[in-house]
Each structure stands twice: as structure tokens, then as C-alpha cells.
Amino acid sequence: MLTRTASQSLTEQLAAHFAERIGDRLLAAGTRLPSVRQCAEQHGVSPATVVAAYDRLLAQGLVEARRNRGFFVREQRVAPLSGAAAQPAGAVRPPVDAAALMRGMFHSSEQPQPGIGVFPPDWLASDIVAAAVRRATVGQGLKALSLQYGEPAGDPALRRALSHKLAGLNVPAAPEQIVTTVGATHALDIVSRTLLRAGDHVMVEEPGWAIEFARLQALGAVILPVPRGADGPDLEVMARYCEAHAPKLFVSVSVLHNPTGHCLSPGSAHRVLTLANAHGFHIVEDDTYSHLAPDHATRLCALDGLARTIYVSGFAKILAPGWRVGYLAAPAALVERFLDTKLLATLTTPALLEQAMAWCIAQGQLRRHAQRVRTRLDQARARSVKLARAAGCRFVSEPAGLFGWVDTGVDTEALSLRMLDEGYLLAPGALFHAGRKPGTLMRINFATTQAQAFWKVFERVRAAM
């Protein structure tokens, strides 16, 4: 809060307020600052004070003024990678600072944050984790597991347990086809670094995960956004991309898609696989939310039998985020290539934590824990949906899984700035588009939006816009 008794002037305080947020990357590159009038009303100062504060930010190189549009956080200027192809029609270069999203999602706060992408820690608190680590050290001891590298492909017991687990999803993956990773994001990175070169084209669902957009961009890939509907990706758009650009990959969250919650239909899955076989691209199926979904949900890897598909998942969302245990299951012909990429980046992965995870799976502890979380999430979702609708929000997709995709009726980028002043971090819809696309949508986390206190603040702030 700004105060007239402080040693700094109001102009200095206001400039420092925005500079701190930009420095902490809570305001991503390309974010529009409130208009002079809005900022003056919000902070209880004169328009002249706001203009002076914005001038300070301009002088510091933190923001830029765009004629007749306002003030924007300055974009990071990145030189194009050597050999990268010119962007084709339909392709976009994502301006969203994905690191800002990650920092913001895990920004410490005493109150639940509606925009985060994970369960609150108390949801995952369990004796299972400690018991699993104790069990893993029985016989071998902590020292034996710590003083040598583990198996390059991952702990054999975990890969056997994962093979059995995937069989329950009708995904046929032998232990030899599985490579463990440092979380699911690492698995996605291994696949991309192995199969892509700068200038290659990649189809990615939109709306989608901002981190995936930015990660692919950093590798020099050309992103081709594919609209995601209730049944699956827009197949006509995919077909046009295939004819025009010969993409190497299609990255899909087929089950409990983030942020919409949609699940792929069997018919759409069949047509996607037909395109992949006809045009020779691989499909990366990110099944991060598998523990929250029914086993019978349609998965591309189950229909394809890991022929042109690569399965990716992990356990950070459901059990132990700090363990960073993930994995990929791939066609046999690609496994050694993926393993080479893993070795170059991380050598191996922690045997102790992988053996502990293997015990959690084999003993049924993970399955029972996931069921408890799903039951609690069902109850939270019902409360959150009721409160969101009472607050005037409309769900643009059927509420399912951890996230809701809602229409607020106002510009959610502007709304998110105001809510940040109230201590709440939102996830505006622009973050889920490969190219910044301002709009009225936002993603909410059902586990953190079931309290009326948040929605009361939301209604008050929205009404003031």
C-alpha cells in the first residue's frame, strides 16, 4: 500500500511497486500495465503521479510505451537461432514469459492461490512418502543408494512397476521401453531435444501449457497452434499444417486437457493417428493428470500401441512434487536415442526416490492415495463451480479434473493485475495461447477456489473495472 508518510514520494513508491513485480517476473514480458486513470483510482493517487511513475519505469527500461495503446512490460529481445527457418503463415512466436508463470505459480502465500497448477501441499500430505523412503533403504541402506549412480534407464523395479501400471491403461510398454526422468517436463524435453532441430515445425494444442510453448521456442522450433475442442484437436487445421509444413511432432494432452478439462474422443483419436501415419510425424501424449482421470479414458498410446506415439507422465501432481520422478514410454526404436539424451543432461536419476516410488506403486499405496485425492477433488469442484457461477462466471467447458476454464466477462489480464494487489494470483487466458491473445477467460484451480472469501474479492474487483 502507498502511504504519504513514507520516506519515499508516492511516485517513487508506485514505480518501485511495479519494478518489484517486474523483477520478480510476476508481470510477464508483454503485460499491459493499467491505464493511467485505472492506476490512479486503484492506488488512490493523482494521474500525474502515475504518469511520473510510468516515466521512471520507461527510463529504467522496464516498460515501453505503445502509441494509443498504453504501457507494456518490455519484451525480452532474443536473437533468432542460427539456421532457424522463417516463421510460416499460421505459426507464432510465443511472447509469454513462461518462467514468470512458473515463478508466480509457486510464489509463497498464506492464502490459496486460484491460478496455481498444483494441489495445495496439505492435499498431498501423507505418511506414504516417509514410509516409502524407509522401505527403499531396508537391506541396501541409504549409503549404498547414495554413493553410486543408478541405472541409466532408471531403477529396474520402478520400470517394471510402470510397465504393469501402463498395462492397466491398455498402453503396451515393456520395462525396456521405459526411461525414467526428472519429472514429466524433463521427459518432454528429452523427446524434443532428440527428435527436433532448429526450424522444425511442431503442432501444439491451443489453448495449452505456456511452459511447453516457451520450451519448444527455446529449442528453435516453429510452433503451429492447433485449436483444441471438446472432442480433440481441430483435424482440418492439422491436415493443412501437414500439407504445408511437414511437422515433426504433435504434442497433446488428450486426457483432462489443461486448461479446458476436455478428454479426447475415440473417433478423434483415430483420425489423429491416421494423420500421423500418413504424414510421418510422432505424437507426444502428455498424461500428467492420469491419476485424476478414469482408466478407460481414450489415450492415443493405447490405440497406437506405441508405434508413432510416445507416452509421458509423472507423479509431481499427485504424490511427491519434490521427488521429481517422471518417465516416458516409447517405441523400441527410439529408446536408445532418448537414453543418450538423458545421459548427456542428467547422467542418471535418483535410485533412492525411484525405488521408493516403485514401492508406492507395487503396494497399492499410490492407487489408494490417488483415490482419496480424487474424492476430495470431486467435493471441492462442486463447491467451486457453485461459487464461480454465483459470482457471474460461465464455464466454457464442462468442469472436470483439477481445472476450470471460465469466462469472467472482463479482460482477465487487467483483472489479474488488480487481483495481485489483493494477494491473489490468477491465470489469465492469455497465458494459454501460443501468441498473446487478451480475452475474458481464465483458468481456476478447483482445489484452491472453494472458499467464498476469494470470490467476494473477485466480485468486488471486477465490479470496479
Same domain, 56 and 67: yes
Question: pLDDT tens for residues 196-242?
Answer: 999 999 999 999 988 889 899 889 999 999 999 999 999 999 999 99
Range with the lowest mean pLDDT among 100-104, 241-245, 332-336, 343-347? 100-104
Same domain, 134 and 230: yes
**Whether the predicted pLDDT of 95 surpasses 90:** no
The rounded distance, in Å, linking the Cα atoms of 451 and 20 is 29
The rounded distance, in Å, linking the Cα atoms of 16 and 55 is 12
Same domain, 37 and 154: no
Asked if residue 84 is part of any domain, the answer here is no
Q: Residue 326 is part of a domain; what is its CATH number?
A: 3.40.640.10
Asked if residue 351 is part of any domain, the answer here is yes
Radius of gyration of the chain (CA): 23
CA distances to 44, 244, 460 from 39, in Å: 8, 46, 16
- pLDDT score recorded for residue 106: 54
In whole numbers, what is the pLDDT of the chain averaged over residues?
Answer: 89
Range with the lowest mean pLDDT among 33-37, 97-101, 422-426, 455-459? 97-101
C-alpha cell at 168: 492397466
Q: Is 441 left (phi over 0), alpha (psi -120 to 50) or beta?
A: beta
The residues near 106 (Cβ < 8 Å, ≥ 6 apart) are: 116
Range with the lowest mean pLDDT among 64-73, 182-191, 301-310, 321-330? 64-73
- Cell 495503446 sits at which residue? 69
Range with the lowest mean pLDDT among 90-104, 111-125, 206-220? 90-104
**Whether the predicted pLDDT of 84 surpasses 80:** no
Asked if residue 292 is part of any domain, the answer here is yes
Q: Which of 364, 379, 410 is the last residue of a domain?
A: 364
Q: At how many degrees (to 10) do helices 36-43 and 47-59 cross?
A: 110
Question: pLDDT tens for residues 255-270?
Answer: 999 999 999 999 999 9
Asked if residue 82 is part of any domain, the answer here is no
The rounded distance, in Å, linking the Cα atoms of 284 and 190 is 11
- Provide the 10 A C-beta neighbour count for residue 78: 9
Position 417, amino acid: L
- pLDDT score recorded for residue 142: 66
> Contact 172/305 with Cβ under 8 angstroms?
yes
Q: Residue 379 is part of a domain; what is its CATH number?
A: 3.90.1150.10
Residue 133 backbone dihedrals phi, psi, to 5 degrees: -65, -40
Same domain, 133 and 203: yes
Asked if residue 95 is part of any domain, the answer here is no
- Provide the 10 A C-beta neighbour count for residue 386: 12
Q: Which residue has the higher pLDDT, 9 or 145?
A: 9
Same domain, 422 and 339: no
Domain count of the fold of the chain: 3
**Whether the predicted pLDDT of 80 surpasses 70:** no
Same domain, 272 and 136: yes
- Cell 501400471 sits at which residue? 165
> Contact 449/455 with Cβ under 8 angstroms?
yes
Domain that residue 395 falls in: 100-123+368-464
- If DSSP codes are grouped into helix, strand and coil, which group holds residue 190? helix
For 230, the enclosing helix (H) or strand (E) is none
Same domain, 384 and 430: yes
Same domain, 144 and 168: yes
- Provide the 10 A C-beta neighbour count for residue 76: 11
Q: At how many degrees (to 10) do helices 452-464 and 412-421 cross?
A: 120
Asked if residue 88 is part of any domain, the answer here is no
Peptide bond into 259 cis (omega under 30): yes
Asked if residue 83 is part of any domain, the answer here is no
Please, what sign has the CA dihedral across residues 95, 253, 370, 348?
Answer: negative
The rounded distance, in Å, linking the Cα atoms of 372 and 163 is 23
C-alpha cell at 192: 524434443
The rounded distance, in Å, linking the Cα atoms of 55 and 189 is 40
Q: Residue 52 is part of a domain; what is its CATH number?
A: 1.10.10.10
Same domain, 299 and 182: yes
Go through the chain and tell me how many residues it has.
Answer: 465
Q: What is the pTM of this model?
A: 0.85
C-alpha cell at 132: 516409502
- pLDDT score recorded for residue 369: 95
Same domain, 170 and 247: yes
Position 380, amino acid: A
Q: At how many degrees (to 10) do helices 332-346 and 184-195 cross?
A: 110
Same domain, 327 and 425: no
Peptide bond into 207 cis (omega under 30): yes
Distance of CA 26 to the CA centre of its chain: 16
- pLDDT score recorded for residue 403: 97
For 428, the enclosing helix (H) or strand (E) is strand 427-428
Same domain, 166 and 312: yes
Asked if residue 91 is part of any domain, the answer here is no
Question: pLDDT tens for residues 376-435?
Answer: 999 999 999 999 999 999 999 999 999 999 999 999 988 988 898 888 989 999 889 987
C-alpha cell at 178: 521405459
